[in-house]
Amino acid sequence: MSDSQLLTSPALELAALVRSGEVSAIELTELALAAIEAKNPTLGAFIMTDAERALEAAAMIQPGDERPFAGVPTAIKDIGAMLEGYPFTCGANLFGDFTAPMDSAVTRRIKDAGFVITGKTNLPEFGILPVTESLRYGPARNPYDTSRTPGGSSGGAAAAVASGMLPIAHGSDGAGSLRIPAACCGLVGFKASRNRISSAPLLAESEMATEGFLTRTVADAAATLDVLAGYEVGDANWAPPPRHGTFLDAARREPGTLRIGFTIRPTVDRPVDQTHVDAVVETAEVLESLGHEVVEADVPWTNEDMLPLFMQKWSVGIAMLASFAARVSKQEVSPETVERLTWEFYEQGIDQKAVDIALVDGMLKSYIRGVIAVTSEFDAILTPVLNQRPVPIGSIDSSEGMPAFEKAIDFTSFTAGINLAGLPATALPTGIAEDGLPVAIQLIGRPADEETLFSLAAQLENVNPWIDLRP
């Protein structure tokens, strides 16, 4: 197997090679570091690397190591999950030179699983936009077409994996931030159910955001969820464990005959590119040929009244994160220290009264209950991920303020509502379109039922393997 083939192989297979002694953790890490050095100046996937610490960690891993990802190089997205001793900036100048004082539970679990951390990946400021173009770090670019976005906010992670710098990379998803980059870059992006993955020890549980990985295969996505999922001391809520074995077991099981609904209606009424419509229709036909009951679903989630409520809720989270950044860096949140879009969200969020926030939460929960009641009639829902094709770099510009967020909704309005609902969902590649860019679909599951999604996604992967998709 060539060096380039190693870095585009499934992570579980690489760990097996390390375990057997066919390849060493140091060899894999050196290959990854060399690929990063060669490709990152063009793609902007990484904001920093630490070769010394990565090689020290790799040197500790020997043949026979039974940990699921022993010796596999990866990277951590620079938001949410803290990595002790590394910069923690969330893509924002406002954080200054703040360094994480400890590992988050997620990064501890990643280390305990045997991963070798090579550095941290790029993202938009505070993870707000579905493109990765912060003022602090500059743009990450799509390996399939460097004039296009790799998506966001886990755009650096997706660019790193799709380009063959890494076989797998950590990311997070607060409104589509794993699924959108996966769709742009031909990868698997799996968002777990609410409270499946703990945000301990520093953060309260999030109603919308969760951690995860950008992977090449469904099995890798399932195995990483086995690593990340589970209760941490002090968690107020947590999702129930898998009903039958592990999530990886689920990815290796046949799903049985399922009832699947499909729709091309987004949660916010915006046009959908015909490429994405065709991908959903073709996938529905494949699922029907596999014996599933597939019907067009009348999902009542298109509601323009919900958008301003979502933006109110979103603004509070941004204001909280910006306030934390200002506190640790001893700066003020101002138009000079944050991007214009961040500033406008901050102003909206900081001015809200507690009673208004509670009212918005109640109205959104009522809306979501109605959506879940209908979607629960199905074992899975099939939709597009994106409304548009991956957009050109610079077309969604945070310096425009709120108009940039409107453009972001035009780009992708199928994902954020799933975070509000707390449902599991995954983006899966379907191939390459005539424009040379990947195409993807989204599968949405029932509450806390990742197992069915993994089984169904793996079945689609077996019918239409995408492991060899390359820029």
- Residue 116's SS3 state is strand
Looking at the annotation, which residues are catalytic? 77, 153, 177
b/e map of 327-357 (b: 16 or more CB within 10 Å)?
Answer: eebebebeeebbbbbbbbbbebbeebeeeee
What is the tally of structural domains in the chain? 1
119: in domain = yes
- Name the residue among 49, 125, 61, 52 with its Cα closest to residue 94: 125
3-state secondary structure of 432: strand
> Is residue 469 situated within a structural domain?
no
Site of tokens 């926030």: 357
The Cα–Cα gap between 291 and 456 comes to: 12
pLDDT at 227: 98
What is the reported pLDDT for 18?
Answer: 98
Q: What is the pLDDT of residue 300?
A: 80
The whole-number pLDDT of residue 209 equals 96
> Is 471 within the bounds of a domain?
no
- Residue 173 is predicted with a pLDDT of 98
Nearest to 213, CA basis, from 197, 201, 200, 202: 197
The predicted pLDDT at position 204 comes to 75
> In which domain, by residue range, is 205 found?
3-463
Q: How much is the pLDDT for 3?
A: 78
CA distances from residue 106 to 216, 267, 355 in whole angstroms, order as listed: 20, 30, 33
Residue 357 is predicted with a pLDDT of 93
pLDDT in tens, 312-366: 999 999 999 999 999 999 999 999 999 999 999 999 999 999 999 999 999 999 9
Q: What is the residue type of 390? A: P
404: CB partners within 8 A, 6+ apart: 129, 341, 396, 397, 398
Question: Tokens representing 158?
Answer: 């997706």
In a domain, 275, yes or no: yes
- Is 468 a member of any domain? no
Q: What is the Cα–Cα distance from 261 to 433, expressed in whole angstroms?
A: 24
Rounded to whole angstroms, how far apart are CA atoms 371 and 197?
23
At residue 461, the pLDDT reads 98
> Looking at the domain assignment, is residue 72 inside a domain?
yes
* Domain presence at residue 305: yes
> How high is the mean pLDDT in each 10-residue block of the chain (471 residues)?
90 98 98 98 98 98 98 98 97 98 97 98 98 98 98 98 98 98 98 97 87 98 98 95 97 98 94 98 98 93 85 95 97 98 98 94 91 90 98 98 98 95 97 98 97 98 95 96
Residue 470 domain-assigned (yes or no): no
Q: What is the pLDDT of residue 303?
A: 79
Polymer length in residues for the chain:
471
Task: Render pLDDT for 311-321 as a digit per residue (tens, 0 to 9).
Answer: 999 999 999 99
pTM comes to 0.98
What is the CATH classification number for the domain harbouring 390? Answer: 3.90.1300.10
Burial 208-233 (b: 16+ CB within 10 A, else e): bbbbbbbbbbbbbbbbbbbbbbbebe
Mention every residue, 6+ apart, whose C-beta is less than 8 A from residue 108. none
